[in-house]
Structure 1
């Protein structure tokens, strides 16, 4: 942390700024949150079937991936009664690194019975006469988890704490009828006309007689494999959480950085050389590194509806979150107040919308490089994970899985954006 309350005075505490970002820390000891974890094998919510294994297969090699993060994402003030669990997986195979689809995420969701918040996709398919029904306006989701006021030290809001019956077949219209005692006055013809084909019959006849082929069965879910068939997991850690605190006037990192990259050993000699050096600095990455350096043990950053701390603005993921307007005046360590990219006016790039209900997605959390150091503590060599940050975007409506009734658990795949380390190893792993 940026400071230790046990050895600081009240005056010292006043010199630090607390932000709306909740930081997660890996711990070998149990914490108040018995569900959230870094690494290990995934644990599914009680009374909920495991998700389809297809959600956690690498899109490059089609093998099962390994759990990076499991998080209790309950937000009772924002989504009352919703049970939310978040999972991020990554492929361990070296051949799959730096490729799209090698990191995926799913959201476990249970919405209480009688909830008025429904997936738009479910509403669209609930009846053929939907267009004639009165549509309900979407539920107001309210402010973000921590609102816009300065958070207190009260951790009660810690985000890491603990079918319709199918129609019966219609009666066959060709069923036998009682015979009449009256003899048939017309003799049968000498030749029988050809029987009508299914295509020549009226559609209603074909349906009632079940002449047409039966409808296809819904796709079956791939059962989640036993632990013995999964890749060897990363080490297991509990997760602790605390609000981010920052020194509002941290020392300038430029002289140190200049000496690090000066191969001649002469340092910076004059103002012209200093200006030339500063023009080559990737300011986005420098801000990323400076921000993490104030709380170097953090493994994740959480702020539902906030904005991620970008590793780069020039890669595809960075461009999704880059804002057209100039940053607000102030030092580079002020808290992030950027409006969600899903609602920013004139934004040319956006997080892909929710594939389940088409609602916008918002930022919820990101993993940062110190998580790699913790997860690969038992790995030999240095050729492990190569990302700078992993960003999770989720449905802003917290929609439920299609076809899942209220009170039942379901699964929805969410968006993951990975910002990779530059070739050559820019950035540290903490």
Structure 2
């Protein structure tokens, strides 16, 4: 679900519209992955581990190599995130380099994807495509029939309560939970009988995408990796703020009454203030993230990223509007209102294949670095076999051949994906499978 139209960003201390569900999904770690079937299933979202690929042809190993040092990087996150009403299975993969020298922090170009890279894998799902065709045909047939009046539903009836939906109607499916795609809040009654009976496979079976390729005889098998963890999802909520007593006669407009009907109203009634003493951007970031400190990923397709610090990324994505000319005489004195930053992703390069604009999809959070570091330390402390110990020593020698320590120090990584989710060959023809790199912007810190 895209954010509200008024996506102005600013740094006020108070956030209006609290105690509501936002349009952001939060990804949190949920225990170690030990089952071989889950490790090989591309529909199981994960932190660390090795990738489970969707394309039948294994992607080139260079996809995971740092563009600065050319070393293979560790997989940070893999997410199962198909688009709504798309016949394509879809997963997003993100790799990061832990060599400090590769974590350049100066200038706009240093924020582009070089030591952190994101790829999307697509694969045509024949079974689900057939199901979609039947749904579309049934909707077209229903459109020419006279509309029947239906009794008004009782909003307090337990039988009609539907779980909160995620962006683009995927619900809990977004990070690989076993939730059928047909469980979206808007459910046509005429789609629940004939279509379902025609298919012997359930929605869950249609949407489960087991990886086709195997890593046994592949360079990916020996690639450096962090211990694999499940990545689960939950909705973001903003807690209730204390009510302020107002003088008699003063009225306050409740942002929940916003006619636009958006769930995320945290951007309303904020005014940006410039400050040379405090990075208000970072303070707002820590306040928002503090509501759910375990979050490793924020997912909001076509949404608005949460900036980490005042840097060139903020200036590019949230530019200040042109300032009015200052008065030169006392007679022309005017009060200049505080400037407001508006989200403007026009600086993001378009998709190089279909030329469509790229949209914000998700961002990696600071806690992910802690989770990966802690998991790596636990894996090294556990009892290893001689073969595992030998491989670990070889891996460490390769990592530290330059004598440099390793560790990621970024603040947040913003991923922007093709808005059309195109699956095209280099010559522009439709392809049943594709492997495409997307744009990553990095905010390194304060």
> Normalising by the residue count of structure 1, what TM-score does the alignment of the two structures yield?
0.55
User: 2-side partners of 1:357 and 1:250: how far apart?
Assistant: 49
Does 2:236 match 1:244?
yes
User: 2-side partners of 1:339 and 1:421: how far apart?
Assistant: 22
The one-character-per-residue Cα deviations of 1:280-321 (angstroms, maximum 9, x if unpaired) are 111111100000001101110000000110002422x22231
Could you tell me which residue of structure 2 aligns to residue 104 of structure 1? Answer: 117
Q: Name the CA shift for 1:323/1:94 in 2 (closer, same or farther; >3 Å).
A: closer
Could you tell me which residue of structure 1 aligns to residue 49 of structure 2? Answer: 40
Counterpart secondary structure, 2:293? coil
Rg larger in structure: 1
Q: What are the equivalent positions in structure 2 for 1:81-120 lying under 5 Å apart?
A: 81-98=87-104, 101-111=114-124
User: 1-side partners of 2:418 and 2:221: how far apart?
Assistant: 33
User: 1-side partners of 2:94 and 2:445: how far apart?
Assistant: 19
Q: Name the CA shift for 1:42/1:384 in 2 (closer, same or farther; >3 Å).
A: same
Q: Name the CA shift for 1:250/1:303 in 2 (closer, same or farther; >3 Å).
A: farther
TM-superposed deviation, 1:152: 5.0
- Are the counterparts in 1 of residues 47 and 230 from structure 2 also a CA contact under 8 Å? yes
Could you tell me which residue of structure 1 aligns to residue 277 of structure 2? Answer: 280
Root-mean-square deviation over aligned CA pairs: 3.4
Q: What are the equivalent positions in structure 2 for 1:384-399 lying under 5 Å apart?
A: 384-399=407-422
TM-superposed deviation, 1:110: 2.6
The one-character-per-residue Cα deviations of 1:201-220 (angstroms, maximum 9, x if unpaired) are xxxxxxxxxxxxxxxxxxxx
User: 2-side partners of 1:353 and 1:302: how far apart?
Assistant: 20
TM-superposed deviation, 1:75: 1.9
Could you tell me which residue of structure 2 aligns to residue 55 of structure 1? Answer: 63
TM-superposed deviation, 1:63: 1.8
The one-character-per-residue Cα deviations of 1:326-382 (angstroms, maximum 9, x if unpaired) are 9xxxxxxxxxxx98634xxxxxx5111111221110000001011111000045699
Q: Name the CA shift for 1:286/1:33 in 2 (closer, same or farther; >3 Å).
A: farther
Could you tell me which residue of structure 1 aligns to residue 314 of structure 2? Answer: 318
Q: Name the CA shift for 1:393/1:250 in 2 (closer, same or farther; >3 Å).
A: farther
Could you tell me which residue of structure 2 aligns to residue 166 of structure 1? Answer: none
User: 1-side partners of 2:56 and 2:310: how far apart?
Assistant: 39
Counterpart secondary structure, 2:437? strand
User: 1-side partners of 2:425 and 2:275: how far apart?
Assistant: 52
User: 2-side partners of 1:312 and 1:284: how far apart?
Assistant: 5
User: 1-side partners of 2:302 and 2:407: how far apart?
Assistant: 31
Q: What are the equivalent positions in structure 2 for 1:171-186 lying under 5 Å apart?
A: none
Q: Which runs of 5+ in 1 are unaligned?
A: 1-13, 116-150, 163-223, 252-276, 327-337, 343-348, 423-430
Query: How many aligned residue pairs are there?
Result: 265
- Are the counterparts in 2 of residues 112 and 406 from structure 1 also a CA contact under 8 Å? no
Q: Name the CA shift for 1:339/1:81 in 2 (closer, same or farther; >3 Å).
A: farther
- Are the counterparts in 2 of residues 111 and 406 from structure 1 also a CA contact under 8 Å? no
Could you tell me which residue of structure 2 aligns to residue 226 of structure 1? Answer: 219
- Are the counterparts in 1 of residues 61 and 219 from structure 2 also a CA contact under 8 Å? no
Q: Name the CA shift for 1:383/1:323 in 2 (closer, same or farther; >3 Å).
A: same
Q: Name the CA shift for 1:112/1:405 in 2 (closer, same or farther; >3 Å).
A: farther
- Are the counterparts in 2 of residues 311 and 389 from structure 1 also a CA contact under 8 Å? yes
The one-character-per-residue Cα deviations of 1:402-429 (angstroms, maximum 9, x if unpaired) are 158656221011000111023xxxxxxx
Q: Which runs of 5+ in 2 are unaligned?
A: 1-16, 105-109, 130-161, 178-216, 244-273, 323-340, 378-403
Does 2:299 match 1:302?
yes
TM-superposed deviation, 1:234: 1.3
Could you tell me which residue of structure 1 aligns to residue 176 of structure 2? Answer: 161
- Are the counterparts in 2 of residues 109 and 411 from structure 1 also a CA contact under 8 Å? yes
User: 2-side partners of 1:248 and 1:295: how far apart?
Assistant: 14
Q: Name the CA shift for 1:86/1:293 in 2 (closer, same or farther; >3 Å).
A: same
Aligned counterpart for 1:68 among listed residues 76, 101, 104: 76
